[in-house]
Chains A and B, each alone.
Chain A
Amino acid sequence: MNKNLTWFNVTALVLGFAFLYIPILILVIYSFNESKLVTVWGGFSTKWYASLANNQSILDAAWVTIRVGLLSASLATVLGTMAALTLDRFKKFHGRALFSGMVYAPLVMPEVITGLSLLLLFVAIGFDRGFWTVTIAHTTLTMCFVAVVVQSRLVTFDRSLEEAALDLGCPPFKTFFIITLPLILPGVVAGWMLAFTLSLDDLVIASFSTGPGATTLPIKIYSMVRLGVTPEINAVSSILIGVIALGVVAASIVTNRAEKERERAERAAFAQG
């Protein structure tokens, strides 16, 4: 394998990363700007973070976002896992292809359409828009992502483990909770985290389905930006980036460690014959 960094490789790498991260970097840097003007550097300061802590409307929005995220991700995980299990288990039933297609469709469906259709539904049934409608809408949006992630985990799941549990006298319902669920848990957790992240940064669907008193952070930021970008927004955004980055790094560390542990144990077993 060629390990040398040629000028071509280096250029490609730098360009790629620059394209991805320069906008974010600028945003983070300017969140520490002393000046009130977003584009003029006035020295280092953390005052925008301090002022953020006193901005009740942003804190409220953040709190709504977190609650919506936690609740919708959890609901989506339950529903998505159930869908994944069903599609994995019942290989042949009439309309299986249609069903599995329908699970995947929202992945590529324009968010505007999903948002609009939900809005129409809530209006039609006379459901007052607010916290619950956003939560339901986000559950709808993220459930299919969970289903996809869990389904990929189920592909490698050995069904005979469940049969073994049944064979040893464990009823099906209990088998699911003590055998199946612990083993597909990494997939379920990954699905939950994905759902939570998606809910955290969704703007389109939230703005269609929200109502008074349920302003999420992305909606709040968007409406603030319309009145002009302030360094305060940069600060909120930086925190959001930090939280998400931390989550992703933590998840990958956990996964990596588990994988390495497993490999080592397997090698040990192999060496010992």
Chain B
Amino acid sequence: MNKAVGPIKRKFAPWDDPAGVPFIRFENVTKRFGDFVAVDNLTLDIYEREFFSLLGPSGCGKTTLMRMLAGFENPTEGRILLDGKDLAGIPPYKRPVNMMFQSYALFPHMTVEANIAFGLKQDGMESDQINTRVAEMLRLVKLEKFAKRKPHQLSGGQRQRVALARSVAKRPKVLLLDEPLGALDKKLREETQFELMDLQIELGMTFLIVTHDQEEAMTVSDRIAVMNHGVIAQIGTPAEIYELPATRYVADFIGDINLIEGKVSAVSGTQLSLTSEGIGGVIDAEAAEGGDATVGLDACFAIRPEKVRISREAPPAGSHNVLEGEVWDIGYLGDISVYRVKLANGTIVKATVANMTRIVERPITWEDKVYLTWPRDAGIILTK
């Protein structure tokens, strides 16, 4: 499909630029509700035109963080800067920030048109200008035919688009999206993710999205902040988060992963050796960034199942990083098959294989004796 998507996305990484000035800045922000600490001394920079995701389980503080930026909550400590200006004391209706609500929050007593025009009217825009802008927004979300409908006369997907149109109609500096696609079914959600990305490039706005859906965050974001218990566990591009998780929590939260516990037995620069009782052997791999490993430290080896090679033939003698086991379980998912391999001492290691041919009979089947191998740089040793 050939769609007008505006300028092609080039390499965009202002966060790597030492001279880059953050557009939104959370500075040592803490938010307490009574005894509960929702956000704990958090510092975060977001750059202009960035598509930034706050990802985490419910209750991790991501929504609170967003609501503080919108002005619905005030930080207990710390400050929030937008374009260099401290937002403290500015009420939500005076902030150049608009939000798309999880429940969409469409005004049920107003038509689609009136919903989209609402924010423009508050700004005292001329009525013919409002009409032009509303028409433009309706075209943008492909709802021209539904202008006169009330929200309850629309399907879930259509309501989502009205909510989106309403929140971008005022051309805010920052658009906040609170679980924007949570209520849509899977197919529609995937489509809408790409539409959101196109829209963000077309409008040139900064998008901040809150989600618990890691796939959604991976698809749409320039950078992701993984949050847990009110603090940021890791910030990075989707690839960094996936390939170079900094902690066990991040590794486990994003995607599927094998975590093999052990103790550091040798350190040489960033290369570590891990002795693991679980697999009865030694694994050599690179240490995760920021982990200061010393011999004897508890650590774990993390490797994604798709990076584990599974074979019935034994690798040449003297190879590193080899595990032996038998196929315990096979999950056939159509595009890939997941093999759960049980090692001699009972540890289960997962390996996935892309089903590249249409052969129904698998070359490896239940109770086969197999060897699991991986290149030296496929996994990572996590000390945190």
* A interface list, Cβ under 8 A from B: 158, 160-161, 163-172, 179, 182-183, 262, 265-266, 268-270, 272-273
Contact = CB atoms under 8 A, between A and B. Distances in A.
Contacts of A265: 150, 152-153
Contacts of A179: 107
Given A262-B152, A269-B155, A160 B170 contact: no
A171 B93 contact: yes
B362 interface: no
Contacts of B102: 160
Top 7 closest pairs, chain A to chain B, by CB: A168-B119, A169-B122, A164-B105, A160-B105, A166-B92, A265-B153, A166-B93
A160 B152 contact: no
A234 to B, nearest CB: 45
Interface centre among B70, B97, B109 (most CB of A within 10 A): B109
15 contacts: A158-B105, A163-B70, A163-B99, A164-B101, A165-B107, A166-B71, A167-B97, A168-B93, A168-B98, A168-B122, A169-B123, A170-B93, A265-B152, A269-B152, A273-B155
Nearest to A263: B152
A264 to B, nearest CB: 9
A32 to B, nearest CB: 46
Given A169-B119, A262-B152, A269-B154, A183 B109 contact: yes
Say what secondary structure dominates the interface of chain A.
Answer: helix
Contacts of B108: 161, 183
Contacts of B72: 163, 166
A163 B101 contact: yes
Nearest to B117: A168
Contacts of A166: 71-72, 91-93
A269 B170 contact: no
B166 A160 contact: no
Interface string B99-122: 101110111110000000011001
A160 B93 contact: no
Contacts of A183: 108-109
B98 A167 contact: yes
A169 B123 CA distance: 7
A167 B91 CA distance: 9
B231 to A, nearest CB: 26
Given A158-B105, A170-B93, A170-B122, A164 B155 contact: no
A172 B152 CA distance: 25
Contacts of B99: 163-164, 167
A183 to B, nearest CB: 6
Given A163-B101, A165-B118, A166-B93, 7 more contacts: A158-B105, A163-B92, A163-B99, A166-B71, A167-B98, A167-B99, A168-B93
Contacts of B94: 169
A171 B93 CA distance: 6
Contacts of B107: 161, 164-165, 179
A257 to B, nearest CB: 15
